[in-house]
Amino acid sequence: MNFPVVGMVGGGQLARMTHEAGIPLGIRFKILSDTPQDSAAQVVADVTVGDYRDLATLRAFAAGCDVITFDHEHVPTEHLRALEADGVVVRPGAEALVHAQDKGVMRARLAAIGVPCPRNRIVADPQDVTRFAEEVGGFPVVLKTVRGGYDGKGVWIVGSAAEAAEPFRAVGPLTPDGRREPIPVLAEEKVDFVRELAANVVRSPHGQAVAYPVVESVQVNGVCDTVIAPAPGLSDELSAGAQGLALTIARELGVIGHLAVELFETADGRVLVNELAMRPHNSGHWTMDGAGTSQFANHLRAVLDLPLGDPRPRAPWTVMANVLGGDFPDMYAAYLHCMARDPGLKIHMYGKDVKPGRKVGHVNTYGDDLAEVRERARHAADYLRGTIDE
């Protein structure tokens, strides 16, 4: 068989769902997983268990692949450059992916190409945070570690210099000589936004690109709770502007594969870029059931330089609700009620142990009436979690 081998670094739920999207295409799929119990390692036939921070491990894994891609952004940038120097096809490449790995690099590059962002700069200590706060109109301000943060981790909203000490204690992984370097801290103005949006696009090596509808992302305690596609009440002008912004970023940064651009919508009708992710993303999970081609299938098509699929929605509204772990570990027992109540419900579970607050799955619903579609998704997610019992 001459079907290509796609290697994905990371064994989480994104790898699990990308593998699922490749099955109908006959794509051979390998993963580099931290443990045999990781979400994707449970279902993928070809699993290498190893440390993605070890260059020798990465090289050995890449030797059996036609292309390497990722379900997280944590592979050291210098290792990606070493793989590319070896002739390995890495998508997205190191020069693109560094913008999703390092928030300082991202902010500098986006500013250079004229992308609207919150005011920001790297800060050296709590006193420097105070000086930055004075520049942007006062506290509170947002502090972020430039590397390693996700789902609210590595992000602090501080109201004074005294509250700003914690981020400066963050350190990176062990270096080869056994040291841990401090992680630089980025300060940003706290944006008074109306809501959070996400623009998801996919770009292939030959320059084809597609854009999904802009969605509203509802966050609870820094974690994505619900995604509504398309974002309700969003003007055609702002929607097209957000899609165009994401497509511009993908082109200017040389992104190959899926790009999620997390956005703030402001009260005065603007969008500001908050974060970038160069991989399938939680804000795109609705596409598994709500779009002509899912984000996972299009990511695979892009990294293999195949023609991209139709991103248009199948129904007027699709709602994705994350299923978070709670005090009810037997989620399978809840299937009977959820499926009987809503035959149109789509459940996607990740094979993870149930722990409070942990993303263990998601549900998708779709239809013509937004209120009904949203209630169906919310009910199913809450019932699976055990927070409701009827």
Digit-coded pLDDT (tens) for 43-71: 999 999 999 999 999 999 999 899 999 99
Is 223 domain-assigned?
Answer: yes
Are residues 180 and 49 part of one domain?
Answer: no
Are residues 265 and 131 part of one domain?
Answer: no
Digit-coded pLDDT (tens) for 294-330: 999 999 999 999 999 999 999 999 999 999 998 888 9
Is 248 domain-assigned?
Answer: yes
Are residues 257 and 157 part of one domain?
Answer: no
Domain final position from 132, 165, 189:
189
- The torsion angles phi and psi of 333, rounded to 5 degrees, stand at -65, -25
Q: Which residues of 371-388 are buried (b: 16+ CB within 10 A; e: fewer)?
A: eebbebbbbbbbbbbbee
Residue 117: is its pLDDT beyond 90? yes
Are residues 126 and 83 part of one domain?
Answer: no
The predicted model gives 370-379 an average pLDDT of 98
Per-residue confidence band for 191, with pLDDT thresholds at 50, 70 and 90: very high
Is 245 domain-assigned?
Answer: yes
Are residues 211 and 142 part of one domain?
Answer: no
Are residues 154 and 80 part of one domain?
Answer: no
Residue 167: is its pLDDT beyond 90? no
Tell me which residue of 121, 139, 122 sits closest to 130, measured CA to CA: 139
Are residues 274 and 145 part of one domain?
Answer: no
Q: H or E segment at 5?
A: strand 5-9
Q: H or E segment at 87?
A: none
Residue 94: is its pLDDT beyond 70? yes
| pLDDT at residue 150, rounded to an integer | 67
CA distance 17 to 4: 18
Is 147 domain-assigned?
Answer: yes
Number of C-alpha atoms within 13 angstroms, CB side, residue 254?
11
Are residues 146 and 220 part of one domain?
Answer: no
- The torsion angles phi and psi of 150, rounded to 5 degrees, stand at -165, 155
Residue 276: is its pLDDT beyond 70? yes
Digit-coded pLDDT (tens) for 225-243: 999 999 999 999 999 999 9
- The torsion angles phi and psi of 86, rounded to 5 degrees, stand at -75, -10
Is 110 domain-assigned?
Answer: no
Are 239 and 170 a contacting pair, CB within 8 Å? no
Residue 41: is its pLDDT beyond 80? yes
Angle CA 225–43–76, to nearest 5: 70
Residue 13 token pair: 């739920």
Which CATH number do you get for residue 288? 3.30.470.20
| pLDDT at residue 169, rounded to an integer | 81
Q: What residues make up the domain containing 54?
A: 5-90
Are 315 and 366 a contacting pair, CB within 8 Å? yes
Are 382 and 323 a contacting pair, CB within 8 Å? no
| pLDDT at residue 341, rounded to an integer | 98
Which CATH number do you get for residue 11? 3.40.50.20
Residue 131: is its pLDDT beyond 80? yes
SS3 154: coil
Digit-coded pLDDT (tens) for 151-165: 667 899 999 989 998
Cis omega (within 30 of 0) for bond into 92: yes
Domain final position from 189, 222, 241:
189
Q: H or E segment at 185?
A: strand 185-189
Is 240 domain-assigned?
Answer: yes
Are residues 221 and 343 part of one domain?
Answer: yes
Residue 291: is its pLDDT beyond 70? yes
Q: H or E segment at 156?
A: strand 155-158
Per-residue confidence band for 135, with pLDDT thresholds at 50, 70 and 90: very high
Domain final position from 140, 168, 189:
189
Are residues 138 and 45 part of one domain?
Answer: no
Number of domains present in the structure of the chain: 3
Are residues 298 and 210 part of one domain?
Answer: yes
Are 212 and 299 a contacting pair, CB within 8 Å? no
Are residues 47 and 152 part of one domain?
Answer: no
Which CATH number do you get for residue 173? 3.30.1490.20
Is 86 domain-assigned?
Answer: yes
pLDDT averaged over the chain? 95
The predicted model gives 158-180 an average pLDDT of 79
Is 100 domain-assigned?
Answer: no
The predicted model gives 133-145 an average pLDDT of 96
Q: Which residues of 66-81 are buried (b: 16+ CB within 10 A; e: fewer)?
A: bbbbbbbbebbbebbe
